[in-house]
């Protein structure tokens, strides 16, 4: 009976999500404000200067609220900000991405805390088997790149993968938002964290002199030392570019994914309203097929970011026999 009820609730939640995304933009505060402003401008067309002045004031007031959200569907904070004072509204807009990232962190922490209280090696639960499957797959993947010492770096790399993946997927649920669709507040921070972690590993494993020797291209002969004057700044520039390239790649893909879904939602609403003049009529869910593309893209981007971070670590590890077996 419980399984049947849970299945029904799952189907109901999926249906609700599709309908919510279909009508999301038509019922959003931004669209409502746009429609109201348009009707007012049409009714007061005789006083163009007054309308222009009012429009400029409204635009300035809404600039902070809509900044960064024009290419996204309205999320939970978008609706909450409608009923909050302006001071709170500005905070919600400014901290939109950190708030959703924090929500993902809290939910993930709660899941693993609950899971840790119910661990059983003889009779594992479904949650435990799922966690072991994911962690085991990641560990095997890291081992193939780094080697036996991958166990040291699996906690960081595994956490990085789960954080990025869950943030990406959070943008696909109703009223959710992918914090990884923001460059300055999320993806660049992830790139910087990865950069400092890799540099810390490099200094720890090689020492300061070994670190500088590696940056110079590991010269051995006199000619190599001569070329090191050119290679050192190039390697230094490459290390500084890595966090930016990681951040831009993740940001561009997730931002484009959300923008595509939002565009399809808006197009579905425009097509529907072209035939039915009612704001309560849900739009055609043209965006629904792109959710499957979003699931694939979200997973691939999290995996690519993590794998590149793994390769950056492997490149700094001292060469040994087991490294050569892995092609380092």
Higher pLDDT, 311 or 15: 311
- pLDDT tens digit string along 213-245? 888 888 888 887 888 888 888 889 999 999 999
Report domain extents, the chain: 2-94, 98-325
* Band of residue 265 on the pLDDT scale cut at 50, 70, 90: confident
Distance of CA 158 to the CA centre of its chain: 16
Q: Is the pLDDT confidence value at 303 over 60?
A: yes
Distance of CA 40 to the CA centre of its chain: 38
Average pLDDT over residues 52-65: 41
Q: Which residue has the tokens 């390769």?
A: 311
pLDDT of residue 228: 82
Higher pLDDT, 255 or 73: 255
Query: Which range, of 44-53, 157-166, 301-310, averages the lowest pLDDT?
Result: 44-53
Average pLDDT over residues 69-88: 77
* Band of residue 5 on the pLDDT scale cut at 50, 70, 90: low
Distance of CA 7 to the CA centre of its chain: 29
* Band of residue 279 on the pLDDT scale cut at 50, 70, 90: low
pLDDT of residue 104: 93
Q: Which residue has the tokens 């799952």?
A: 10
Count of alpha carbons within 13 angstroms of residue 270, beta-carbon side? 6
Length of the chain counted residue by residue: 328
Q: Is the pLDDT confidence value at 22 over 50?
A: no
Q: Is the pLDDT confidence value at 54 over 50?
A: no
Distance of CA 196 to the CA centre of its chain: 20
pLDDT of residue 67: 41
Q: How far apart are the C-alpha atoms of 46 and 97, rounded to whole Å? A: 42
Extract the tokens encoding 301: 């981007």
Mean pLDDT of the chain: 78
Residue 319 gets the label, from left (phi > 0), alpha (psi -120 to 50) or beta, of beta
Q: How far apart are the C-alpha atoms of 130 and 118, rounded to whole Å? A: 13
DSSP H stretches of helix in the chain: 2-23, 29-43, 48-66, 76-80, 86-94, 96-116, 126-146, 150-170, 188-215, 222-275, 288-316, 321-325
User: CB atoms < 10 A from the CB of 100, how many?
Assistant: 24
**R_g of the chain, CA atoms, integer Å:** 25
* Band of residue 53 on the pLDDT scale cut at 50, 70, 90: very low
């Amino acid at each position: 009976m419980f399984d049947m009820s849970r299945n029904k609730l799952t189907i109901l939640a999926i249906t609700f999500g599709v309908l919510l995304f279909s009508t999301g933009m038509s019922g959003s505060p931004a669209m409502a404000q746009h429609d109201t402003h348009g009707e007012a401008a049409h009714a007061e067309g005789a006083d163009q200067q007054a309308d222009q002045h009012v429009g400029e004031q409204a635009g300035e007031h809404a600039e902070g609220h809509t900044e960064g959200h024009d290419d996204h569907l309205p999320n939970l904070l978008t609706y909450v900000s409608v009923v909050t004072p302006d001071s709170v509204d500005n905070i919600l807009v400014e901290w939109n991405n950190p708030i959703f990232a924090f929500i993902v962190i809290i939910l993930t922490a709660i899941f693993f805390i609950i899971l840790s209280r119910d661990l059983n090696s003889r009779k594992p639960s479904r949650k435990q088997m799922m966690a072991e499957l994911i962690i085991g797959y990641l560990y095997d993947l890291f081992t193939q790149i780094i080697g036996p010492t991958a166990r040291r770096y699996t906690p960081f790399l595994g956490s990085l993968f789960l954080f990025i993946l869950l943030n990406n997927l959070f943008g696909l649920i109703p009223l959710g938002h992918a914090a990884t669709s923001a460059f300055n507040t999320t993806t660049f921070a992830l790139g910087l964290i990865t950069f400092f972690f890799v540099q810390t590993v490099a200094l720890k494993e090689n020492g300061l002199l070994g670190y500088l020797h590696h940056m110079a291209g590991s010269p051995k002969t006199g000619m190599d030392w001569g070329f090191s004057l050119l290679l050192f700044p190039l390697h230094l520039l490459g290390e500084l570019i890595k966090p930016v390239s990681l951040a831009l790649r993740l940001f561009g893909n997730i931002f484009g994914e959300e923008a595509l879904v939002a565009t399809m939602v808006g197009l579905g609403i425009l097509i529907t309203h072209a035939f039915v003049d009612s704001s309560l009529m849900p739009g055609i869910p043209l965006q629904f097929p792109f959710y499957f593309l979003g699931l694939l893209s979200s997973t691939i981007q999290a995996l690519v970011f993590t794998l590149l971070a793994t390769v950056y670590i492997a490149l700094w590890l001292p060469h040994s026999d087991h490294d050569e077996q892995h092609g380092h």
